[in-house]
Amino acid sequence: MSPLRRIGRALGAPLRHGIQINHDIARTVFLAGCGRSGTTWLSEVLNADRHYHYLFEPFNNKKTRAWRNFAYRQYLARDAVDSEALAAAASILSGRTHSLWIDSQNRAFISGDRLVKDTRANLMLGWLRACFPQMPVVLLTRHPLAVTRSRQKLGWGPGVSLEALRAQPELMRRHLDDYRGLLEDLDGDDFAMQIANWCIEHLVPLREMGDGEYCLVVYESLVRDPDTELERLFAYLGRDFTDAHRSRLSRASATASRGTRSSLDARKLLRPWEGKLTEAQEQQAQDIVAAFGLGDLLRKIDGADQAVSATR
């Protein structure tokens, strides 16, 4: 490495890592959700004032050395005892773990609080909540067809294959044995497995966390009535919802696809699958969600969607 690069790294690392004036996990907010559900957008709204030191998807086993011995979407039961996972999670959540990946989007040089945004942690949210009860947890959800359409446009696979699910026997035993036959029937159908993955990534945390242990935020409600939804979220976090946060709402996130960067039209955000999927596929998605017992959640999401549609 050249001397200039060494100097650049020496100067860049502190700026990128920032200065954290405490490592109390009670001062950490955890934002979880499926990939392409709007977590980056919401994190940028929450941190519009650079209040938080921002940790970007640290529970990625391909990017974070401390998490390299775990699955890409690791399941940990709420009552699991795993000293390695606990030590790694505590280091991450307290802001002691740094890397080019984790700190890539941090813009706060000095901060007392942290915001962790991760799309690979849904299956262990109950465990995180049990291990770190002082940490606020926010779970963002979005319509499965919107998530699936966005993922397929980017050429992403389903997220977790049936083989990968079977490789986590505790996940199968505790949550998915009743759906084994359904998953086997869907295996090989990319669209159907996308929907099934959405279901699994909601079924597990909703089963393992109590109602008062997290704040559920519906993406469609953020689009429909952002002030009301964000005031509720900020109240949960014990913070004020300000004009700085409100002004950030009108801009697409750093990871938004090109089709949404120039416009945040509500209908395009809420129903991106219209005209792209067949009626049979839409019905199949509804049937899969119902089979996983998540019909009420889908109706809540659909209700927010329809409320927007009615005002357009």
Residue 304: pLDDT over 80: no
Residue 160 Rama label (left phi>0; alpha psi -120 to 50; beta): beta
Residue 261: pLDDT over 90: no
Whole-model pTM? 0.89
- Is there a domain that residue 6 lies in? no
Average pLDDT for 51-63? 97
Residue 7: pLDDT over 60: no
Average pLDDT for 248-270? 61
- Is there a domain that residue 2 lies in? no
Residue-range definition of the domain harbouring residue 303: 12-311
Return d(Cα 76, Cα 102) in angstroms, integer.
22
Tens of pLDDT, residues 141-182 = 999 999 999 998 899 887 789 999 999 999 999 999 999 999
- Is there a domain that residue 270 lies in? yes
Return d(Cα 218, Cα 211) in angstroms, integer.
15
- Is there a domain that residue 139 lies in? yes
- The CATH number linked to 259 is 3.40.50.300
Task: Return contacts of 161-169, CB within 8 angstroms, 24+ apart.
Answer: 161/187, 161/193, 162/187, 162/193, 164/71, 164/72, 164/73, 165/200, 167/71, 168/71, 168/74, 168/75
- Is there a domain that residue 7 lies in? no
Residue 249: pLDDT over 70: yes
Average pLDDT for 266-272? 75
Tens of pLDDT, residues 78-91 = 999 999 999 999 99
- Is there a domain that residue 60 lies in? yes
- Is there a domain that residue 147 lies in? yes
- The pLDDT score that the predictor gives to residue 124 is 98
Average pLDDT for 98-124? 95
Angle between the 144-153 and 279-291 helix axes, to the nearest 10 degrees?
120
- Is there a domain that residue 3 lies in? no
Return d(Cα 270, Cα 146) in angstroms, integer.
7
Q: Out of 47-61, 244-258, 270-284, which region has the weakest mean confidence (pLDDT)?
A: 244-258
DSSP 257: -
CB contact at 8 A, 34 and 122:
yes
Count of structural domains, the chain? 1
Tens of pLDDT, residues 187-223 = 999 999 999 999 999 999 999 999 899 999 999 999 9
Write down the H helix ranges in 218-294. Answer: 219-224, 226-237, 243-248, 258-261, 266-270, 279-291
Binning pLDDT at 50, 70 and 90, where does residue 265 land?
Answer: low
